[in-house]
Amino acid sequence: MSNVVEINNLTHYYGERLIFENLSFNIREGSIFGLLGKNGTGKTTTINILNGFLKPKSGKCLMFGEDSYTLSPATKARVGFLIEGHVQYSFMNIKQIEKYYAAFYPKWKKEAYYELMSKLAVTEHQKLSKMSCGQRSQVALGLILAQDPDLLILDDFSMGLDAGYRRLFIDYLTEYAKAEGKTIFITSHIIQDLENFLDDCIVLDYRSVLLTMPVKEFLATFKQFKFDVADPLSQFPKDNVVKNVEKVKNRVSIYTFSNLDEIEHYLNARGITFSALQQVPMSLEDAFIGLTGKY
């Protein structure tokens, strides 16, 4: 299986401020790839570079084998792009905007768009600027689905959407992804929506990559252990074992890729007196926060 996107040693600064250094990852054809990270870790920067709206300071970013900064029109036609906040031409109405985009894409699927529109309580001549945020997101989604791209890039699709619309969005995307060879690249700050949706993920921290692996593997290997310590002043510095730690008085949570035995061994080796050690099951969101920390 080939890679739709290949990012190699990408480094970018805004002025003197480093955003990330040597970022590398690939997106497999047919996979659903999540770019996760807290605000300000460079998610939108990455998306902009991927879409050719930012020239990185160094490194390579290939999309369908072409440099993403100089994509050919033919390749652009294969990429659907949802801008953060579902930005679209708000001065157009439902019908105008469909006609507008239809002129550019030979594979245009009008039905896909109108099917989605029929579910909204809007008229054909309603301007986008007179719609709710949720309705606008559906218009943006409908346009992308009608474009029938091979690669879908969604920048924070959940922004401003209530639970219902978020669910609706994911449902449509899941349906779309079932087709042959469709790849989705998605960023979101609401992780819980993505739990059963993503195949692979990359987790960004400020200036560095925390993790790149399939979501299933991440959920299977990343664990949370809770225990009580006798001495509330015990320190747990981050290292190979301890990826993150939370402490409330005597109660300690450790996030780690190690298993129960290794943790016991680790604590003993450090001479820490502990009790009630147990593994706590985690959702993707829990795991994400466990890995990146709450702050």
In whole angstroms, the minimum distance from the beta carbon of 109 to other proteins comes to 16
Residue number with CB closer to other proteins (92 or 168)? 92
CA-to-CA dists, residue 174 to 135, 150, 167, 179, angstroms:
19, 14, 10, 9
In whole angstroms, the minimum distance from the beta carbon of 56 to other proteins comes to 9
Sites of contact with other proteins (CB under 8 A): 13-15, 48, 51-55, 57-58, 69-70, 73-74, 76-77, 79, 81, 83, 85, 87-92, 96, 99-105
Residue number with CB closer to other proteins (14 or 206)? 14
In whole angstroms, the minimum distance from the beta carbon of 143 to other proteins comes to 10
Residue number with CB closer to other proteins (15 or 281)? 15
In whole angstroms, the minimum distance from the beta carbon of 125 to other proteins comes to 13
Residue number with CB closer to other proteins (12 or 243)? 12
In whole angstroms, the minimum distance from the beta carbon of 65 to other proteins comes to 16
Residue number with CB closer to other proteins (30 or 59)? 59
Residue number with CB closer to other proteins (92 or 242)? 92
Give residue for tokens 């996979």: 31
Count of CB atoms within 10 A of residue 179's CB? Answer: 10
In whole angstroms, the minimum distance from the beta carbon of 77 to other proteins comes to 4
Cα separation, 20 vs 182, in Å, equals: 28
